[in-house]
Amino acid sequence: MKMLGAQIVIECLKKEGVKHIFGYPGGVVLNIFDYLYDDKDIKLILTRHEQGAVHAADGYARSTGKPGVALVTSGPGATNTVTGIATAYMDSIPIIVFSGQVPTKLIGNDAFQEADIVGITRPCTKHNYLVKDVKDLARIIREAFYIATSGRPGPVLIDLPKDVTSDKTQFVWPEHVSLRGYNPKYEGNKWMIKQAAHAIQKAKRAVIIAGGGVIHSAATKELKELAEYTQIPVIMTLMGLGAFPGTHKLALGMPGMHGSYYANMAIQNSDLLIAVGMRFDDRVTGRINDFAPNAKIIHIDIDPSSIRKNVRVDIPIVGDARRVLKGIINVLKEEKEKNQWEEVRKAWLRQINKWKKEHPLSYEYDENVIKPQFVVEKLYELTKGDAIVATEVGQNQMWAAQFFKLNKPRSWLTSGGLGTMGYGFPAAMGAQVAYPDRTVIDIAGDGSIQMNIQELATCVTYKLPVKVAILNNRYLGMVRQWQELFFKERYSYSHLDTVPDFVKVAEAYGAVGLRAEHPSEVEPVIKEALKVKDKPVFMDFIVDWKEKVFPMVPAGAAIHEMMFGEEKKTKKEQKLRAVK
Amino acid sequence: MRHTISVLVENKFGVLTRVAGLFSGRGYNIESLSVGETIDPQLSIMTIVTTGDDQIIEQITKQLNKLIDVIKVVDLTEIDHVEREMVLVKVAPKQDDKAEVLRLTEIFRGRVVDSSPRTYTVEITGDEKKIEAFIELMKPFGIKEFVRTGKIAIAREGIKK
């Protein structure tokens, strides 16, 4: 049967099992929108900004593991997706973005609402396409989904000229994808896996660092098995939070710039580092020459270019985290008795516990002013940790990472690589679309939330009860913190003089607005918010503006050279501060 | 160290931008690049000359391999290979020097492909050293301009795995 290109797009999405699209209409995509008008299987969520649509598709993908889909028009519609695409690219999130394009005959003519979006997004997509002939459409869509979701996942953009959506052709769904230049390698090298297992047997002070790759490859079960079987403690990067239960006795939290003292000390003193699905970001390693100086490094990653990009690696294993971990466990189980492990690790785990006691993650509670960490703790407590947590970027993100102990994968939505302010709220919205009955919280700052605040309208329209906890300190807090510590307290353009009344903003959109100005009001406000099931809630927490995120590794320092809160500062750290 | 990398790619629009963009986006250097069709018209070969230490070259190779339209990447520096480049040199020798220019062209097994009352355009093919030597020799006679193709390279048969 011959079909219009627009209809082929919809049919392909159905074949891929797509239920929700996040989008925004415009001139050149009207053919597709016209088909969506009557469609019963696919629901389009009309956001209020294209950036919101892409972040929502991203949040949908992170929370479900399925690819998220966005549909926007040409020109400004397409360019508005760039931040969302770059965010997904840095964090390896599978999304498909369909952008409209001016008719093929007009491409290159500076036509109305024309932008070379394939050129613009080339460095921030895993791959992108300009469809020039309707006959290629079904094949390209099939390839796009395959590329986005396989290997190291990532965003793919498909640019659809208007005439391609209005041309007709026979619809043939390709059963197989064949791309001679793209064959992700899933099985790890057997010999390397054996080497890794032997290194684990020899090591006395081993530590695992799990990244987002563990979540992408659904390797949480295998990770837990390996850690428990060999009694090796587990550190999770910002992207890896939830890959291992945060409350487990072997969990050491996050490493790096705002990681825990004990995670960083464990890395620096380890004799074996088992890095799984993580890429040694500069925020994790600190000064690279002094990173894990005594450790042998095993690096498991599906992307060969991640290996030896930043750090030297002794045992590189290219492959899928789940299969490689399974392989290592099998070798270990064949070769050594289980009961020996606890004996081997005794001294090491005792040392780590000592570090835990020395500098636990902490803050000073104040009974007169709300501490932001207290809000995060209360959110954790009152949801019993069972929530999907999104964050914005900055202090709010770090406090959420430190104090909300995630126990499940795919319940953490944060822009780790790109660090996109304005990501959290639309991402939370996307997750809420996927899971209408779960509690979805965005932990935000008063700066970040204003970057995509328009999505309140979307949440109200679709009755999405996203809870936004605004840690309102009237500052761009992380910028302010750096200025206080490293720029002689010169708060250059970090003070947000005019912060709107968030309660009134929420109410103006038809959402619920609540405010807490005193520590005693925090719990009642959260409880009240959690009761709301049919509309979004803004919780405006007026928090201590002076509060900083600690511990902290200053830029350029090694990760054991940490700064703690004022009261705990040692001479060495004061010196570090003076140097800056 | 300098490396000559041969990249087999899909012969599609936009592939050159993807490869060139990868180099510029990650701060790698392209010294020369030449592209052409292969025996299979759906494929092209790019010969890229670049410089970097081992870690950079490893990253370049890996990043190239990550591109969907890249089918195969071979660092020819590691294997025995033949390389050629072509240059067209437009020289404007004085009347007395014309014979010398023609003599040198012959020594270099070059050809005069165009001549005018004042100029000769000479075509020279060879490896980089030969091309550069010829250009050096022509300089005193007055080079008006020259155009180089950039290097192309192919692995020697029998040694290639």
Q: Where are the domains of chain A?
A: 2-170, 190-358, 372-542
Name residue, tokens 């050629």: B84
Collect all residues of chain A within an 8 Å Cβ-Cβ radius of residue B18.
Answer: 122
Question: Catalytic residues of A, which ones?
Answer: 50, 112-113, 162, 478
CA distance A127 to chain B (A): 7
Which ranges in A211-368 belong to alpha helices (H)? 212-216, 220-230, 261-269, 282-285, 321-335, 340-358
Whether B17 sits inside 8 A of A305 (CB atoms) is no
Whether B68 sits inside 8 A of A179 (CB atoms) is yes
Out of A118, A147, A180, the one facing B14 most closely (by C-beta) is A118
Out of A122, A126, A304, the one facing B17 most closely (by C-beta) is A122
Collect all residues of chain B within an 8 Å Cβ-Cβ radius of residue A179.
Answer: 68
Phi, psi of A136 (to 5 degrees): -90, -10
Name residue, tokens 């074996």: A272
**Omega into A409 within 30° of 0, i.e. cis?**
no
CA distances from B125 to A58, B84, B91, B148, B150 (A): 53, 7, 16, 10, 11
Residue A54: helix, strand or coil by DSSP? helix
Give the up-direction half-sphere exposure of residue A184: CA atoms within 13 A in the CB hemisphere.
17
Residue B160: helix, strand or coil by DSSP? coil
Whether B62 sits inside 8 A of A179 (CB atoms) is no
Chain A interface includes B67 (CB < 8 A): yes
Query: Residue A290: CB partners within 8 Å, gap ≥ 6?
Result: A268, A558, A559, A560
With beta carbons less than 8 A apart as the criterion, state whether A554 and A485 touch.
yes
Q: How far is CA B51 from the centre of its chain?
A: 14
Chain A interface includes B55 (CB < 8 A): yes
Residue B126: helix, strand or coil by DSSP? strand
CA distance B62 to chain A (A): 5
Whether A181 sits inside 8 A of B66 (CB atoms) is no
Distance CA B110, CA A429 (A): 69
Domain boundaries B82-154, corresponding CATH code: 3.30.70.1150
- CATH fold of A372-542: Rossmann fold (3.40.50)
Name the residue in chain A with its Cα closest to that of B25.
A123
Would you state the torsion angle of the CA atoms of residues A467, A472, A474, A479, taken in this order, to the nearest 10 degrees? Answer: -90
Chain A interface includes B17 (CB < 8 A): yes
Collect all residues of chain B within an 8 Å Cβ-Cβ radius of residue A122.
Answer: 14, 17-18, 21
Distance CA B66, CA A179 (A): 12
Distance CA B81, CA A232 (A): 49
Distance CA A71, CA A22 (A): 6
- CATH fold of A2-170: Rossmann fold (3.40.50)
Helices and strands in chain A: count of H runs, count of E runs: 23, 19
Whether B68 sits inside 8 A of A127 (CB atoms) is yes
Task: Supply the DSSP symbol for B21.
Answer: H
Task: State the CB neighbour count (10 A cutoff) for residue B110.
Answer: 22
- Do domains B2-78 and B82-154 share one topology? The answer is yes
Out of B58, B59, B71, the one facing A181 most closely (by C-beta) is B71
Chain A interface includes B9 (CB < 8 A): yes
Return the pLDDT at B159. 53
pTM exceeding the 0.90 threshold for the entire prediction? yes
Residue type, B123: E
Name residue, tokens 């001549």: B115
Task: State the CB neighbour count (10 A cutoff) for residue B107.
Answer: 10
Task: State the CB neighbour count (10 A cutoff) for residue A79.
Answer: 18
Secondary structure element (H or E) that encloses residue A118, with its range: helix A117-121
Q: What is the full per-residue pLDDT of chain A (580 aa) written as tens digits?
A: 899 999 999 999 999 999 999 999 999 999 999 999 999 999 999 999 999 999 999 999 999 999 999 999 999 999 999 999 999 999 999 999 999 999 999 999 999 999 999 999 999 999 999 999 999 999 999 999 999 999 999 999 999 999 999 999 999 999 999 999 999 999 999 999 999 999 999 999 999 999 999 999 999 999 999 999 999 999 999 999 999 999 999 999 999 999 999 999 999 999 999 999 999 999 999 999 999 999 999 999 999 999 999 999 999 999 999 999 999 999 999 876 666 888 889 999 999 999 999 999 999 999 999 999 999 999 999 999 999 999 999 999 999 999 999 999 999 999 999 999 999 999 999 999 999 999 999 999 999 999 999 999 999 999 999 999 999 999 999 999 999 999 999 999 999 989 999 999 999 999 999 999 999 999 999 999 999 999 999 999 999 999 999 999 999 999 999 999 865 445 454 445 444 3
Give A203's strand partners.
none
Name residue, tokens 């209409």: A25
ipTM of the complex: 0.89
For the B2-78 domain, the top CATH level (class) is alpha beta
With beta carbons less than 8 A apart as the criterion, state whether B110 and B122 touch.
yes
Distance CA A297, CA A32 (A): 50
Whether A181 sits inside 8 A of B9 (CB atoms) is yes
- CATH fold of A190-358: Rossmann fold (3.40.50)
Phi, psi of A71 (to 5 degrees): -135, 120
Q: Where are the domains of chain B?
A: 2-78, 82-154
CA distances from A290 to A269, A295, A575, B67 (A): 11, 11, 19, 33
Out of B25, B58, B69, the one facing A123 most closely (by C-beta) is B25
Residue A449: closest CA among A393, A384, A379, A408: A393
Chain A interface includes B42 (CB < 8 A): no
Instruction: Report strand pairing: B81-91 vs B143-148.
Output: antiparallel
Residue type, B54: D
CA distance A324 to chain B (A): 20
Name the residue in chain B with its Cα closest to that of A308.
B55
